[in-house]
Amino acid sequence: MSDSPGVIHVEHLRKGFGQHEVLRDVGLDVPAGSIFGLLGINGAGKTTLIRLLLGLIRPDDGRCLVDRIDPCEDALAIRRRTGYMAENQTMYAWMRVGELIEWVSRFYPDWDMGFADQLREQMRLDADAKVGALSKGQTSRLALLLALAHHPGLVILDDPTLGLDPIARRDFLRDVIGYLQAAGVTVFFSSHLLYEIEPICDRVAILHDGRIIKCSPVDELRETVKRLVLEPAEGANVADVPGLLDVESRNGRWAVTVEDVQAARESLATMARGEPAVVDLNLDEIFETYVIGRHEVDDA
């Protein structure tokens, strides 16, 4: 972890609505130029965190900095230099595409209309079409256009592929790689479609129960979080395994998922009868063990 705070820096953020506490103690750093994935189940608080970053709501405690600006102090400055695509965004259906682009451009001093036109053509959006008549895929492309046309250094995407068909989804991710990563823009991407987000992201963070329970580069996650299938020796206690994420017992064999396969190797070797088999996990499975991992052996 570098010493300098990232483009997005969050520390000890807390936010509740009435009795319900959504974020308890959230901290993370997003390095500049990276694609950062925020993972979490529905209702975990991903959208709340994003709204806090943009100064759309105020936190109960803790603070965050976006591009070294505190949203509680100058939210508008953050929004001017950040591209934002909200979840399931509804834009003015009665406006035409060209009109909407023109209207939004008024709020951004750095708007590049030439670039917006170029994007519009590349995304095959007709300037005279009514926004309400666009398909879901076209709407999300338009929303992405609005987020990119003012050359932001940071783009925040809140579940941008929600409701898109697989082709539109791939096209969207291509646009993210092609337009954003190629230009060195930092991307903060929240999604619960893990298998999709994984090839795109440099780093991921898992938000669960109001906290960030894991934050690491994607490669590292895959290399260190592994499942080992073994036959437990007499008196083996699964609680002795360091970094235990999940344990499943079947037919007398254990499938033990650990956070750091190197650190757990020794204790697992002593615990097992014979050599444990190592199983690679994909991000879906890794996420599952973090979120609903069992820490006790229950005999099936």
Q: Tokens in use for 250?
A: 């079947």
Q: Taking contact as CB under 8 A, which single stretch among the options 63-71, 239-247, 257-265, 290-298 is the one that binds another protein?
A: 63-71
What is the nearest approach in angstroms of another protein to the Cβ of residue 126? 20
Does 135 bind another protein (CB under 8 A)? Our answer is no
- Least distance in Å: CB of 212 to another protein? 21
Dist CA 86 CA 140 (whole Å): 10
Per-residue mark of binding to another protein, 280-299 (x: CB under 8 A): xxx-xx--------------
Cα distance between residue 235 and residue 129, in whole Å: 71
Q: How far is the CB of 9 from another protein (least distance, A)?
A: 12
Site membership for another protein, residue 17 (CB under 8 A) = yes
- For residues 28 and 212, the answer to whether their CB atoms sit within 8 Å is yes
For another protein, the closer of residues 72 and 133 by Cβ is: 72
The reply to whether 124 sits near another protein by the rule CB under 8 A is no
Say how far apart CA 239 and CA 220 lie, in whole Å.
24
Placement of tokens 């100058």 in the chain: 74
* Of 30, 50, 47, residue with least CA distance to 217: 30
Binding of another protein by 92 (CB under 8 A): yes
Tokens coding 122: 């590349």
Please name the residue that has the structure tokens 């250094």.
Answer: 153
Rounded distance, CA 252 to CA 70, Å? Answer: 54
Residues forming the site for another protein (CB under 8 A): 17, 35, 54-58, 67-69, 71-72, 75-77, 79-81, 84, 86, 89-94, 103-104, 106-110, 151-153, 170, 173-174, 176-178, 181-182, 195-196, 198-202, 219, 222-223, 279-282, 284-285
